[in-house]
Amino acid sequence: MDGIMGMFLAILAAAIATVFAGIGSAKGVGSAAQTAMGVLSEDSSKFGKMLVLTLLPGTQGLYGFIVGFLVLINCGVLGGDMPSLGQGFAFLAASVAIGFGGMISGFAQGKAAVSGITMTAKDEKNFSKAMVSITLVEIYALLAFIVSLLVVISVPNLKF
């Protein structure tokens, strides 16, 4: 029974990492894309810069996907052994970091991207300033990703 519950928790962990980080990225990229489309309707020559600024909030979803994929590899769904109950809880705890960290930072990075797109639309010399400001939010998504990644790769070695 412990193995079945461990497997359930691991699959739930993969879902949490992927879904919540994906929600953050979808919201962030969606907001930035709406603003970028407005800019491009006035001046399509800014497409490259608008695309870069729009894509930045999408990394959280990628981080969540990587963590979710690694959980599935390590829990017996795509390889590895069926996790114990304790390992299932460890996978779940690891996934909460990127799931919720990715969602919240995706929302925040989307807002920063909207502001950066607006600023760049007024003066293209502000593009690098916008990139720096938007990237500052990325640091927190990376921290959540690193914590989740380190725990997920160490879970198979945990014996409890």
Pick the CATH number of 2-154 from 1.20.120.610, 3.20.20.450, 1.10.760.10, 3.30.1490.20: 1.20.120.610
Give the C-alpha separation, 57 to 88, whole Å.
Answer: 29
pLDDT in tens, 77-127: 887 788 999 999 999 999 999 999 999 999 999 999 999 999 999 999 999
- What ranges do the domains of the chain cover? 2-154
Q: What is the mean pLDDT of residues 32-38?
A: 97
pLDDT in tens, 115-157: 999 999 999 999 999 999 999 999 999 999 999 999 999 998 8
Give the C-alpha separation, 33 to 1, whole Å.
Answer: 47
Say what percent of the chain tops pLDDT 90. Answer: 89
- Split at pLDDT 50, 70, 90, the class of 1 is low
Q: Can you say whether the dihedral through the CA atoms of 44, 47, 50, 55 is positive or negative?
A: positive
DSSP string, 123-156: -GGGHHHHHHHHHHHHHHHHHHHHHHHHHHHHGG
The pTM assigned to this predicted structure is: 0.91
